[in-house]
Amino acid sequence: MFQAFILAAGLGTRLKPLTDSLPKALVEVNGVSLLEHNINKLIDFGCKHIVINVHHFPEMIIEHIANKHYPCDIFISDETDKLLDTGGGLLNAKDNFDFSKDILIHNVDIVSKIDFNEFYNYHKSNKTLATLAVSQRETSRYLLFDKDNFLCGWENTKTNERIISNERTELFPFGFSGIQFINPELINLLKNKESFPIIPEYLKISTHHPISSFVHSKDIWVDVGRVESIEKAERLLNT
């Protein structure tokens, strides 16, 4: 079975003023915090080992976990001194992982009805270092994949920035869903230090190791990154 890393350290600036007094992980959807939604879903899919990184109001997250008595092992990766972004956060949490099991990395402000077992089995069958959940949706930043669903690049349509890691005659754009499975050996390939995002690292790694996509366009998925997204999430989760 897989283990999980919930990214809960962010400042949640897009959720202000709610995050002026609490971490975004404890913002509620249908009366349940984002953190609890994601922990319960992981437990429902059999995950017993969860690592959570903290930075903004860390004591509130730690207290929440202590009070809930979740039926799984939860480890805290402390980023109180410095926010480390996804890549740096993963490196910082390295010693909390069992390197014999794949890791589901999940942004705390994402809620979805993605079937984690289906996702995990797909990842294992591909035998890639990472499998990124993506969907066909309108956004400003896209991951670019070839016809075989392997990562080949990234683009920002607002700034016209484009990074191609693998040249192909045809590339297909997908929005990244903030959820990914990795083989923990990928952590040893991260060459950056301290605070850094994970996507540029995936692009570098993809030149030598295939990184695949898991397309879930038909699944309910909401980025609860803004206050106006909370109502949308509540409505969709009730369907």
Separation CA 193–CA 182 (nearest Å): 19
Give the tokens for residue 111. 């809620």
pLDDT of residue 124: 97
Token pair, residue 118, equals: 């289906």
Collapsing DSSP to helix, strand or coil, 231 comes out as helix
Low-confidence ranges of the chain (pLDDT < 50): none
Q: Which two tokens stand for residue 75?
A: 């480890």
**232, 110 in Cβ contact below 8 A?**
no
Instruction: Give the pLDDT score at 239.
Output: 66
Find the radius of gyration of the CA atoms of the chain: 17
Question: Is residue 54 packed enough to be buried (19+ CB in 10 Å), middle (13-18) or exposed (0-12)?
Answer: buried
* The pLDDT value given to residue 132: 98
Query: Which CATH architecture group holds 3-237?
Result: Alpha-Beta Complex (3.90)
Quote the pLDDT of residue 238.
81
pLDDT of residue 23: 97
Q: Are 54 and 78 in contact (CB under 8 A)?
A: yes
Return the domain boundaries, the chain. 3-237
Residue 152: beta bridge partners?
none
Q: And the tokens for 223?
A: 């980025």
Q: What is the pLDDT of residue 154?
A: 98
Nearest CA among 202, 192, 217 for reference residue 131 = 202
**Element housing 162 (H / E):** strand 161-164
Chain centroid offset of residue 213 CA = 14
pLDDT in tens, 117-134: 999 999 999 999 999 999
Cβ proximity of 217 and 139 under 8 Å? no
The reported pTM is 0.96
Q: What's residue 225's pLDDT?
A: 86
Classify residue 209 by its DSSP letter.
S
Which class for 77: exposed (0-12), middle (13-18), buried (19 or more C-beta within 10 A)? buried
DSSP 124-182: HHHT-SEEEEEE----SEEEEE-TTSBEEEEEETTTTEEEESS--S--EEEEEEEEEEE
Per DSSP bridges, beta strands 130-135 and 3-7 are unpaired
